[in-house]
Structure 1
Amino acid sequence: MACSRPPYWLTLLLIHVLLTCSLVLSDEEDGKKLLKFKNSLLNTEGLSNWNITSAPCNSKPQNWTGVICNDDGSVFGLQLENMGLGGNIDMDTLAEVTSIRTLSFMNNNFEGTMPNVQKIGPLRGVFLSYNKFSGDISGDAFSGMSGLRKVELANNDFTGKIPISLTQLPLLVDLQLQNNKFEGEIPDFDQKDLKVNFANNRLEGSVPQGLGNQDPSSFAGNNVCGKPLGSCKIKKRNTLKIIIIAIVSLVAVLAAIVIAMFLFRAQKRGKNEYRNQIKKTDRNNTYKANPNEIQMHNQKEIYKRTDNGGKLHFVRTDRERFELEDLLRASADVLGSGSFGSSYKAMILDGPAMVVKRFKEMSNVRKEDFHAHMRLLGSLSHPNLLPLVAFYYKKDEKLLITDFAVNGSLASHLHVKRKPDEPGLDWATRLKIIKGVARGLDYLYQELPRLSLPHGHLKSSNVLLDDAYNPLLADYALVPLINKEHAQQLMVAYKSPEFTQHGRTTKKTDVWCFGILILEMLTGKFPANYLEQGKGGKPDLGTWVNSVVREEWTGEVFDKEMKGTKNGEGEMLKLLKIGMCCCEWDITRRWDLKEVMEKIEELKEREEDEEYSSYASEGDANSSRAMDDDNFSFSVTS
């Protein structure tokens, strides 16, 4: 008896069930392989939610940090960035996860030679920038990887020639090799729509014809020529011309020596008479110059004797330009001495007041890198950022010129002793300032995605106030420029729990700094741990606030000089909660900036339904219970 065919719908159902079971089993196997890969890494605290109890892509919500999933539940890639990871990147194990198409390990602490990415032939993206990889990369390192579109190896210590196999990738559209030690000539690339960056290597020769349409800055810091740079003919020198120039120069030097000797003898005869005349003039002179102005004038010749030729570099087109000589001639008042150097208020003749900040801890940064970073900062524009106007470069000292904020720093309003009748900042003004700081910080996160510390030094003295008490963030995005040892000793980001305990920073480190700023604003207390240099400082402000809230809530946590708006106590409590969630020691529980922004934007000057306004009058116990009832939790131990 012949068997009849099963119904068509039943066949489809069986196929669907088999495929689903296959995907689930595949995901579980991929999870085991990724756990094996994790074992090859160091400092994996950020991967604590990688565990055998859940599959990488089938759990909802998907909770394996850094795992990118396809719609079908397979693993598409890994994005393990800014996590302080080290150890070995086990490419053999990753190759067993056959669906992987992209790998990003940017801004970690990996060392040694470049991983053998060729073991995963179908890769589309390789992102290894901002690590400590070194050594040569073999010429065939990317052979056969025909689907590769993006390769980013910037800011490492790679040496040798640029791998020729990169020119054989038909789909390559993005190649970032800047800030390494690649040498030799640039191979010829003919891929359409390709964007490259070879800046700050040791390359030489002419730019290949296929790269003639690139941005000239992509070749800065090398010894190369040709389109889009200057003609290579300019670099050729005639031997005879060199000899003639050398002879002329020698004659000029000898003539200068003879003239100098003649002048020296002529001036020596009248030297004593000249000194006596100066002394007589000084006795009759009653003018007392501004000592700060003299301090600036004394720098005039020093600044003019540099390779800059006394030139200021302006990074904004909406400011009236002036020369360095105008700046040095201007009267100057010392504004203060901070972590990096002194600041002066300079009154330019017939122009606005400007702030000149001197930096001496940037000697490790190359001139090309410094100029490029200044241009980047000059391109930033936001109502809550103090705009960079111009800069001056010298090897052992730099000047940054910015606008002047008439109401000084937030720190001066919170911590300087006031007269009895002088009011402090009220709640409405403090809320306005916090919202502005949050918006400025969010803008930095958006515009500087490659920086793990978009600000890096967020504290009350770096929040300036304009004439309407709008906040302006200052000293932002300077981490790439400051000498590493000095930065780790003094910059606020390096006081965070993740750095003091684990020696690393993350994208949430600036959030921790913002949380401390919020608590400082609400309590009026200065964060004592900022005064400690290096690791192991005093307990942070978040620890103190948590102890008060949890153990002895009295309402005394808020600054007595903050005049509360009627029915605003509930909003203050909400902001206190936000600040403490920003200061969470456990990075996985700490809020990210997006969540912080959403919560802060919801705050008002007063609570409309007066839900929280009764807490202040119900006593300490009720206030403490109010925080608990809001599902609030906060830990201060790692």
Structure 2
Amino acid sequence: MEKTISISIYIFSFLLLLPFSYQQYSSNPDINALLTFKSASDLSNSLTTWNKSTNVCSWSGVSCIRNRVSHLNLEGLSLTGSFEALASLNELRILSLKQNYLSGSIPDLSKLKALKLLFLSHNNFSGEFPASVLTLYKLFRLDLSYNNFSGQIPANINHLTRLLTLRLEENQFSGPISTLNLPTLQDFNVSGNRFSGEIPQTLSRFPETAFQRNAVLCGSPLVQCKSITSDPSKPGAIASSLSPIGSTPAIVSSSPTEEPGVLTPISVSSHSGKGKLSLLAVIAIIIGDVLILALISGLLYYYFSRKMAGKSGNRKNSQLLETEKIVYSSSPFRSQQGSGFERGNLVFFEGIKRFELEDLLRASAEMLGKGGFGTAYKAVLDNGDVVAVKRLKEIQIGGKREVFEQHMDTLGKLRHGNVVSLKAYYFAGDEKLLVYEFMPNGSLFWLLHGNRGPGRTPIDWTTRLKIAAGVARGLGYIHHYSSQSPRLSHGNIKSTNVLIDSTGAPRLTDFGLSAFASPTIMSRSNGYRAPEASLDGRKFSHQKADIYAFGVLLLEILTGKCPLMSFEGGGSAGVDLPRWVQSVVREEWTAEVFDLELMRYKDIEEEMVGLLQIGMSCTSVSPDQRPSIGSVVRMIEELRGVEEVSPSYESFDSMSESPSFSEDRTV
């Protein structure tokens, strides 16, 4: 009897689960679309895992978010025909069909509103530029290269304001490109087509290889354009009013010719010797050789001596990593005492005195690091409390003590989960101290770059993305704390100024001090400095410069590379991180930019690419092309899968875009 009951319960449970299982597969529109595409295009049966008996999210080349297909990577599978069936995957974010044999015109993709990356290169597609692509306003990457497309590029392609990649090379596109105006582009190529006319100034920043093999395309970086006075009625005449200087329409010369307007190599004629070299000339040659040998020997000696000194001076080199720690037997804050010492008061912001000035002066201190605005110490008071103390230097206050105190009062009111709280300050004579709450887990710099070797515990992707989101929220709070002008900026964003609290949350420190920075500090380049801030005498937005520095920080999180270091493949030392990333991405869209420590994690490619796009957008050379901090917060939270963003961040953009609202002060 019991056995019969058990069997009945099993059968009943199976019957209950069967409709649910059937409904799960039959009601999912993605499955039917994928199987329809497979039956029509996979004649070589490359997609062997695509069948109804398995979960669609486990199929080869398929990735899902919340059980909907979001990422489809079907490269080099000998697929043929059209991919119209895939146009109904309305949750698709990445579609890569490159290196197949797909043909015909591009189907209507207007339903793919979430699409961000579209790679269709190395196929046999034909027809005009796909009009439906112009409705995909979230698109970041578009690659139609190595196909048979023809016709002109529509002017409303400029509506794709997020576009970072536009690859159209090796097609049969024609007409002008002078209307193209996509300032956000990082990767662009139209070589091997039939374009004509002048290259617009907005695209002249790209290399010559991006425009080659277009017979009547001219302008920087190609040859200069000139007017054509040919008679249009004559055979072979070109209707365009511009052509490369020195070129003959429809005729390509196979050898250099001396035509007006063509730059030809300068020939250096050597006079035939009329006699032997004089004794004086021989002596001069010998002396020159000796001097050159001496110079080379001196340079070699200098190089090897510096190298040996570097090995013996590792302690000095460690300052680059800001790792040197010095424990003082007594407080370093006493040094200003003595004759003429002006006694000041310790001003607290929270209204409650936690300790006296004497307690701070008696505290033992450990140096945490040196920065542009001074030296930071960990101070342990007699009662066991621990605080961080920053001893300011190279700041310009002059006699404006009231201005300093008012600014400190503003900074002391900042209270946010991603901002280190300023607890108190001390001002007396040349001694200026800031007292912060102590962060016990070090800085983001050490998480990313510390102990890069055996035994290192790498920082995982979830933690990196959480830190990026936290820093963005903290920066947004600083930027929009006050509605008065001038508005606050951080002024010194870098990985050493992102501290980690006891819960693992990132906290911004060293904020607001650039208001008193000396020209010496502001002239230093640490890899985070915005290009416009380096131009002498130019006014610039401090908040836009913060966005640039935050973008560098995002690239540092993604690449694991320090902005101060040289890069493999990046040329000589001094190539900054944004330029290196752009050069790698422009060369080919690969995973070479990402930190090797991230390669161990699965299903994070889309999030890494998304964060990279945000970082590259923030580091745009043009300040006006950088996103607002509110937009940055929302984009990062979207990557993390956070559906709702705090209303305070939603209001950031509306405040910034108001015509009556001054963004921040300019210098």
Q: TM-score, normalised by structure 1?
A: 0.45
Structure 2 length as normaliser, TM-score?
Answer: 0.43
